[in-house]
Structure 1
Amino acid sequence: MTEITFTLSRDPYGKLLMSTADGQVIEGVAPVRAFPIQSPDEGISLVRGDGKEVAWIEHVNDLPAASRALLVEELEGREFMPEISRVKSVSSFATPCTWDVATDRGDTQFVLKGEEDIRRIGAASLLIADNHGIQFLIRDMFTIDKHTRKILDRFL
């Protein structure tokens, strides 16, 4: 466990503040994940508005509970990446086409403009960008249901 020498809080406007052990307060820090897909709870940088790193967090669990809750809340507010659990149907195997999917945030439909909007991340993960730029994640294409796997194989 890495020793954490700062705490996180919010200012009256909801911006994240970092208070160091020596009393310095850095306003408007933002968390950035180093590996958002493969290791989302490890390697988180806190950066100022100008992009300069002010702290490094080895693992989310290294933080005290109150700071950890604020960090997770801030990350969830900044990152919107629904995880696809099942592809129900596609309108066509030619692009553009409409995908009807079940995600961890509910069922939705999106338009896939082209096959190039499906990117492999590591050995088993996929990122699918819709026509509005929203990124959908398939964490492990090898453990997803057979129907979804058949559809994915047609596009890969």
Structure 2
Amino acid sequence: MTEHHTTSGGRLSRDAFGRLQLDRDGSVVTGLVPVRSFPITAPQEGISLVDQEGKEHLWVERLDALPADMRAVIEEELASREFIPEIQRIRGVSSFATPSRWQVSTDRGDTVLLLKAEEDIRRLSTTTLLIADGHGIQFLIRNLSALDKSSRKLLDHFL
């Protein structure tokens, strides 16, 4: 049985294969994917539901303005696609030159990331960094000042 969630833009449901679909006055678009406009700075605002060609079919100004059941479906879909571990502590680095292997603690557990070049550390704001791992994973440092002193000291060698 398919669950239906109604919004002013139409009716959102999942098809028999679990893909998101939007029904607007009998016209059904299947295989929609939610995309955040500002995934780091405003993750709850500006969500677009797009098809495989990237055409937008529904714009959601704010997730918290949606009915709870529809919000849950979109958040579930986003969670299945997004994986950006947040670094909470840098436990050690193999070298202060790149490439360098970093031992880090994240909100998803302890891991090792490979920093291929200093350019792979991108400053998003004065307190937020995005680090591209050599294996294609993006790691987030949301607030530099929230890191412990030894983590900040290790990080300073690369900034």
Matches within 5 A, 1:7-156: 7-20=11-24, 22-156=25-159
Are 1:7 and 1:67, in contact at CA under 8 Å, matched by a contact in 2? no
Q: Percent identity?
A: 57
Partner Cα separation in structure 2 for residue 42 and residue 66 of structure 1: 17
Which TM-score applies when normalising by structure 1? Answer: 0.92
Q: Structure 1 unaligned segments of length 5 or more: list them.
A: none
Cα distance in 1 for partners of 2:104, 2:152 equals 13
Return the offset for 1:111.
1.1
1-structure distance, mates of 2:12, 2:64: 14
Change in CA separation of 1:123 and 1:69 when aligned onto 2, cut-off 3 Å: same
Residues 62, 23 of structure 1: alpha-carbon distance in 2 compared, 3 angstrom cutoff: farther
Q: Which has the higher contact order (CA 8 A, sep 6+)?
A: 1
Q: State the secondary structure of the residue aligned to 1:81.
A: coil
Q: RMSD between aligned alpha carbons? A: 1.3
Is the alpha carbon distance of 1:118 and 1:55 closer, same or farther for their aligned partners in structure 2, counting shifts above 3 Å?
A: same
Amino acid at match of 1:42: E
Q: 1:102 to 1:4 in 2, by over 3 A?
A: farther
Name the CA distance, whole Å, in 2 between partners of 1:73 and 1:19. 19
Q: Which runs of 5+ in 2 are unaligned?
A: 1-6
Q: For each residue in 1:18-44, what CA deviation from the matched residue of structure 2 results, as whole angstroms up to 9, or x when unmatched?
A: 223x33321111111110100001011
